[in-house]
Amino acid sequence: MAITRRELAKIAGVTTTIGISGLSMAQSNSDESELPIRLFGDGAGLTPLAYTNLLKKLCDDANIEPDNYLLGGEIEKFEQYCADALGKEMAVFIPSGTLANQLALRELAGSKRRVIVPGLSHVYNDTGDASQNLSNLNLIPLAQDRANFTLEEVEAVLSRTAGGRVTAEVGAILIESPIRRLGGEMVDWEETKRILAFARDHDIGTHLDGARMFIASAYTGITPAEYAAPFDTVYFSLWKYFNSNVGAILAGPRSKLENMYHTRRMFGGNLWAGWPSALVARHYMEGFTDRLKNAVNVSESFYSALEEITEIQLTRIPNGTNLARITLPDVDVTEVKRRLAAMNIMLGQPNAQGRITLSVNETWNRITAEQLAEAFARSLT
């Protein structure tokens, strides 16, 4: 039976032994402990001061070896760490995910310039046609309104290509999961493995845009290495949830990546130094999946409580990950945000339809589900 916000507030006041003003903020370092609980974004939202203090602490605790134009030093150590984490022969630090995806497809396709991509993918929609303009790749979008294209759709593209008057072979297939444009929805893993096996049999390279793959692992139990295994190359982001100020990792076979630093330089991606990004990203990578799993447990209990508040409508994303949506149709959202902020809880901005996206991240570990439900109950009264 649904209850009102006032009833929930009374219940929360009885069952919660710690008031909102006494919320636990214990974290690994004192600067982060003062940061708010962020109900939006994938990362911790480090302030410049918190980031700087963390970097200083990491430098104080180790003998840091700087890299030289992304070669050697901490970058080389971090690349090996990432390669081992994904079960790949080699990993390369790339300044951005946009560039990492393009360099992977460029290398995999070789002289076969057609590349199959999801119609909703970042590569197809959000890069200014970089692969087409800068690498002469012909992107073929499939599944324009859904997460997955099917093996049958891939076979149809190859059949049509084979029947053309001019030879134009497919050189690579890209899979993106989770998919940003679908609110973090994941692809069907079994169908994806069918496509990857077909590609392997037909000498077609495969690349995973796994920008948020470590988030997916916390929800599915499939490890990042298991996600990466059937793909030739894989990319993941260093800033989205590992809180680095810049960077991406591209991992795969040595035969494809050992000379990638030349192409990286050609595209203007050869930063003078990347060691600060490597230090911060590795700091957050260690133990990340377990910490996020705990935050997921907090969120699931919290979502159960939200379903009992008649003023809040919760929408879950099918086969989703860390995003959910709420609407407060009869509530002053600005006032709710203000009241939550006073309790050190930050709510994202509503869209034009008044819908707010909630995003589970590590900061959810700074509060219990009961305390968060109490905070919302208080903000609504």
Same domain, 257 and 297: no
Same domain, 207 and 306: no
pLDDT at 376 over 90: yes
Q: What is residue 177's predicted lDDT score, i.e. its pLDDT? A: 97
Q: Which one is predicted more confidently, 166 or 59? A: 59
Alpha carbon distance 73, 93 (integer Å): 12
Same domain, 323 and 253: no
The pTM assigned to this predicted structure is 0.91
Rounded average pLDDT over 156-183: 90
Alpha carbon distance 169, 173 (integer Å): 12
Same domain, 265 and 375: no
In a domain, 280, yes or no: no
What number of CA atoms fall less than 13 Å from residue 12's CA on the CB side?
Answer: 28
Q: Write down which residue in 217, 237, 272 finishes a domain.
A: 272
In a domain, 262, yes or no: yes
Same domain, 248 and 205: yes
Q: What is residue 135's predicted lDDT score, i.e. its pLDDT? A: 96
The CATH number assigned to the domain holding 189 equals 3.40.640.10
Rounded average pLDDT over 91-99: 98
Considering the chain, what is the average pLDDT of its residues? 91
| Torsion angle in degrees (nearest 10) through CA of 346, 244, 219, 38 | 0
Specify whether the CB–CB gap between 85 and 143 falls below 8 A: no
Same domain, 245 and 301: no
Number of domains in the chain: 2
| Torsion angle in degrees (nearest 10) through CA of 45, 245, 58, 217 | 70
Q: Write down which residue in 237, 272, 307 finishes a domain.
A: 272
Rounded average pLDDT over 116-137: 96
Query: Locate tokens 């001061």: which residue?
Result: 49
In a domain, 358, yes or no: yes
Alpha carbon distance 381, 229 (integer Å): 51
Of the pLDDT bands very low, low, confident and very high (cuts 50, 70, 90), residue 28 is very low
Q: Which one is predicted more confidently, 60 or 329? A: 60
Name the DSSP class of 28: S
Same domain, 161 and 80: yes
Rounded average pLDDT over 38-59: 96
The CATH number assigned to the domain holding 369 equals 3.90.1150.10
Same domain, 140 and 11: no
Of the pLDDT bands very low, low, confident and very high (cuts 50, 70, 90), residue 329 is confident
Q: What is residue 33's predicted lDDT score, i.e. its pLDDT? A: 61
Query: Locate tokens 């006073």: which residue?
Result: 342
Question: Of the given ranges (23-27, 120-124, 355-359), which has the lowest mean pLDDT?
Answer: 23-27
Same domain, 119 and 204: yes
Rounded average pLDDT over 203-215: 98
Same domain, 134 and 255: yes
Same domain, 212 and 138: yes
Domain assignment of residue 163, given as a range: 67-272
Q: Write down which residue in 214, 241, 272 finishes a domain.
A: 272
Rounded average pLDDT over 141-152: 95
In a domain, 188, yes or no: yes
pLDDT at 15 over 60: no
In a domain, 58, yes or no: no
Residues above pLDDT 70, as percent of the chain: 91
**pLDDT, tens digit, for every residue of 231-262?**
999 999 999 999 999 999 999 999 999 999 99
Burial 339-370 (b: 16+ CB within 10 A, else e): bbeebbbbbeebeeeeebbbbbbbbbbbbbbb
In a domain, 226, yes or no: yes
In a domain, 61, yes or no: no
Alpha carbon distance 77, 276 (integer Å): 13
pLDDT at 372 over 70: yes
Same domain, 72 and 126: yes
In a domain, 151, yes or no: yes
